[in-house]
């Protein structure tokens, strides 16, 4: 079983990368949240597999935190927010979807080129997944800067954090538990604050388009 763990982790890493591509091309916000939930589930599976192979209980704790926050609690909060705000579509992007996908491919190639020397120095059995983790971070960052509404930007931020956790898990075989708890608390508080922020934008401007915030400069 253990000899198949690296292949299974690479499989889940590929799934995480494919979900990142699907997220940058997705216009429907409900589907975007569902894709984020699947990405979190893939991260949980990869953490459990690596914890089993390396016999590190900290990775099980990390998987549990990701399951509770990224697969259950945060998606539920986001679905609740969009239901209350009556938001279903995000059709406005700074660049069109085909161009976004081409830029995404370039970012993936750049990520693998940048991560290759570092991966060779890693002693982890999944050290080769660093390029995928870095690509997920860059794709999530691109989603944040190419979307004009608040909800997809929140999901982009959370997906970026998924990529960072995946990098720490696969390359260094996990972070100290106190760091994991701190990150989990920061993410939860950040989502709650951003939820309040979205309600305030909607109440003042009757829209979640962050371009309306430029009107505050005139007040």
The pLDDT score that the predictor gives to residue 197 is 57
Cα 18 to Cα 80, 86, 175: the distances in Å are 26, 28, 25
Q: What is the pLDDT of residues 117-135, one digit of tens each?
A: 776 665 555 556 778 888 9
- What is the mean predicted confidence (pLDDT) over 99-121? 83
Q: How many CA atoms lie within 13 A of 152 on its CB side?
A: 33
Question: Between these two residues, 207 and 42, which has the higher pLDDT value?
Answer: 42
Residue 194 banded pLDDT, cuts 50, 70, 90: low
Q: What are phi and psi of 174, to 5 degrees?
A: 105, 155
pTM, to two decimals: 0.78
The pLDDT score that the predictor gives to residue 216 is 46
- Residue carrying structure tokens 């309040």: 196
Give me the residue spans of the domains in the chain.
2-218
Smallest CA-to-CA distance from 111 within 134, 95, 127, 94 is with 134
The pLDDT score that the predictor gives to residue 178 is 46
Residue 165 banded pLDDT, cuts 50, 70, 90: confident
- What is the mean predicted confidence (pLDDT) over 159-182? 69
């Amino acid at each position: 079983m253990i000899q198949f763990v690296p292949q299974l982790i690479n499989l889940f890493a590929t799934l995480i990368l494919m979900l990142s591509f699907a997220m940058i091309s997705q216009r429907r916000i409900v589907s975007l949240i569902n894709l984020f939930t699947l990405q979190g589930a893939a991260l949980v599976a990869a953490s459990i597999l690596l914890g089993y192979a390396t016999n590190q209980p900290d990775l099980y704790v990390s998987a549990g935190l990701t399951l509770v926050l990224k697969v259950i609690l945060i998606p539920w909060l986001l679905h609740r927010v969009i239901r209350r705000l009556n938001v279903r579509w995000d059709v406005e992007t700074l660049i069109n979807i085909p161009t976004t996908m081409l830029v995404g491919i370039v970012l993936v190639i750049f990520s693998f080129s940048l991560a290759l020397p570092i991966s060779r120095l890693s002693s982890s059995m999944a050290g080769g997944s660093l390029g995928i983790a870095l690509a997920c971070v860059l794709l999530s960052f691109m989603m944040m800067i190419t979307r004009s509404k608040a909800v997809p930007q929140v999901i982009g931020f959370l997906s970026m954090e998924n990529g960072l956790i995946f990098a720490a898990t696969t390359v260094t075989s996990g972070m100290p538990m106190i760091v994991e708890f701190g990150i989990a608390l920061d993410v939860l508080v950040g989502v709650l604050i951003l939820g309040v922020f979205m309600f305030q934008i909607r109440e003042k401007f009757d829209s979640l388009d962050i371009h309306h915030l430029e009107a505050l400069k005139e007040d």
